[in-house]
């Protein structure tokens, strides 16, 4: 392990991942804005597509956001025809969300935007470096409880 005297703050993994993450997040948000979406909208679509949660409250817990934010995100996605809301017959207070065909197509467009950003992001790396980066980030994601591959 490196000591404080061996490394400048700007060379730390935390700083570099944070700075790069902020830059990439801004680029991703700009790309999604062309579709009238924000990254958290894509999060809701992704959760529904993966079958990880269906109720607004479950989605809020999974995404670690306020339930009121999920309501707002769902309102927008419903207005775009990307999701449907249904009352849970077992609990009338609970809203169940489901992805529509339009929602799947929209999620596909978001994935295409992500892949284009990925191509620009790793363009300066060799194929083995690209593979190593994806594997390392996948492992880090899993260790923090995010989707990825260990």
Q: Which range of residues forms the domain containing residue 73?
A: 9-118
Q: What is the pLDDT of residue 6?
A: 77
Tokens of 95: 């809203």
Residue 59 belongs to some domain of the structure:
yes
List of E strands, the chain: 83-88, 91-99
Mean pLDDT in residue range 62-79: 96
- Reduced to 3 states (helix: H, G, I; strand: E, B; else coil), residue 50 is helix
pLDDT-derived band at 129 (thresholds 50, 70, 90) equals very high
> Any idea what the CATH number is for the domain that residue 84 is in?
1.10.10.10
- Which of these, 81, 118, 116, 85, lies nearest to 100 by C-alpha position? 81
If one compares 113 and 1, the residue with the highest pLDDT of the two is 113
pLDDT at 90 over 80: yes
Q: What is the mean pLDDT of the chain?
A: 92
Task: Indicate the DSSP class of residue 126.
Answer: -
Residue 34 belongs to some domain of the structure:
yes
Mean pLDDT in residue range 42-61: 94
Percent of the chain with pLDDT over 70: 96
């Amino acid at each position: 392990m490196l000591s404080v005297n061996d490394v400048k703050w700007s060379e730390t993994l935390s700083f570099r991942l944070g700075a790069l993450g902020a830059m990439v997040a801004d680029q991703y948000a700009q790309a999604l804005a062309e579709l009238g979406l924000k990254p958290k909208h894509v999060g809701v679509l992704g959760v529904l597509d993966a079958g990880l949660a269906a109720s607004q409250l479950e989605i809020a817990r999974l995404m670690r956001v306020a339930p009121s934010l999920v309501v707002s995100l769902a309102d927008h996605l419903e207005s775009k025809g990307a999701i449907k809301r249904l009352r849970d017959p077992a609990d009338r207070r609970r809203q169940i969300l489901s992805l529509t065909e339009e929602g799947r197509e929209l999620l596909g467009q978001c994935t295409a935007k992500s892949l284009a950003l990925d191509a620009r992001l790793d363009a300066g790396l060799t194929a083995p470096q690209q593979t190593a980066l994806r594997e390392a980030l996948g492992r880090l994601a899993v260790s923090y409880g995010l989707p990825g591959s260990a």
